[in-house]
Structure 1
């Protein structure tokens, strides 16, 4: 059984299609098919079965895929450790972060490492917390900066960075800002919100539910950060929820947090990594920089 065959098999399972998997791997589809066949011959079982859309793992294939993930993580950790021993401070880090702190935290951290030259490289993924934690678990990331859930999965180590506040946000000059308003007035507005399984959306729905108000469907529902639609909010009467970091950054220009009865929601942000991963000197320095920059960042309630 070759590690390369396992890595290719893993990609086939995750793509659900041999043609797409081969394109990602940069190989031909026949080469990928032969790799899967070699694995099946060596194990004496079927690993993939055809579906109307491509392929899916058998029960044994699912087990092998889980093992392939672990082997991939082991190979990555081994490569990092050897690189660490050879050069002391070089290599590549794969970092995932929630979009809200890219400007206030990630940019200053990356700027710190930029001065060290090309020996240090980064791959950065910007996703909501749930996606980041899944990517970290799958071995696609070395670090994830995300919301701290309860409980934290046992497979992860983490450092709590601090609190992140979120506000109901509107453009300056919004009709609600011309006088006193109620929760019912907020519910009557149109909104830009993430899906219901995301904390920001759940907070808004809970606010209205607690006041006996049914919320109308969001005008825009997005699996990206609502802050990505700041230009639309700035040019309309739409409301959204933004973090203090987004509001204090360039996306918050022309926007302002609504006063009471609009609430302020707070959660903890943490830096996560796999408990089983080799913790290189580069990872240690990255953690130190993230903790430092997060604590020093300047955020506030009002936009600009």
Structure 2
């Protein structure tokens, strides 16, 4: 718990306050732990600490152990009280409006006594929650290097098509086809903190010798994104096609 507190606060003093112990005692405990392992877990900076590669590795396993202990406690408590089991599911914003509804319906039918908590967000946010043990299953698009660990099982689910979309009254939406170069000249709306999307779209445009599009508006809500595209002068968004109409037909 002491290591996790230091890692997650990034500061020995704040971690000590959180744990209710003195900073010297926590610093001594950390040094003894590092001496036992034979490697430093953090690099000391003037205003805090940052994990070393060894610290990053240890955090994955320590967070997983904490998560397992929490699940065991919850399951034992549920067994004692006769209450239902629980699944904590994290899903990308596009998934919640496409694939996930039918999945949730099927889960509810198969396991009528199970409580399902659904957390919606972008992949980077959900990956952090998953690694911290806050969610049990993660549905997200793309590859995330932080999830490339031997204790994490990954499984392909489905290809979820992504399209550039616009309001029907937008000039681009009235065209028969749209060139990728046209998309660079207009403002975009997108999901908040969706770094995975930004990387993919920049790569997509760079392959065609184009610059990255300008992101003018961001939100973490699919409904809000729809409203922004329809009611502002932002031209396009990049999302699951079922959320908008019409799609922009791209010429490659």
TM range (shorter): 0.5 to 0.7
| Alpha-carbon distance change, 257 to 90 in structure 1, aligned in 2, over 3 angstroms | same
SS of the counterpart of 1:97?
Answer: strand
Deviations 1:273-292 (A, max 9, x none): xxxxxxxxxxxxxxxxxxxx
Instruction: Please report how far the alpha carbon of residue 137 of structure 1 lies from its aligned counterpart in structure 2 after TM superposition.
Output: 3.7
Structure 2: which 5+ residue stretches go unaligned?
none
> Is 2:14 aligned against 1:17?
no
Length-normalised TM-score, structure 1: 0.58
Q: Is the 8 A contact 2:91 2:138 kept in 1?
A: yes
> Is 2:72 aligned against 1:82?
no
| Alpha-carbon distance change, 126 to 225 in structure 1, aligned in 2, over 3 angstroms | same
Instruction: Please report how far the alpha carbon of residue 11 of structure 1 lies from its aligned counterpart in structure 2 after TM superposition.
Output: 1.9
| Alpha-carbon distance change, 127 to 241 in structure 1, aligned in 2, over 3 angstroms | same
Aligned match of 1:242: 239
Deviations 1:17-68 (A, max 9, x none): 3565477x5x64xx36477257348648597775332344678866764553
Select the structure with the greater relative contact order (CA < 8 A; seq sep ≥ 6): 1
> Is 2:168 aligned against 1:178?
no
| Alpha-carbon distance change, 35 to 96 in structure 1, aligned in 2, over 3 angstroms | farther
Between the aligned partners of 1:59 and 1:234, the Cα distance in structure 2 is: 46
> Is 2:66 aligned against 1:72?
yes
Aligned match of 2:246: 256
Q: Is the 8 A contact 2:168 2:174 kept in 1?
A: no
> Is 2:86 aligned against 1:96?
no
Aligned match of 1:145: 139
Length-normalised TM-score, structure 2: 0.67
SS of the counterpart of 2:6?
Answer: helix
> Is 2:115 aligned against 1:120?
yes
Q: Is the 8 A contact 2:10 2:49 kept in 1?
A: yes
Instruction: Please report how far the alpha carbon of residue 80 of structure 1 lies from its aligned counterpart in structure 2 after TM superposition.
Output: 4.9
Aligned match of 2:187: 190
Aligned length: 240
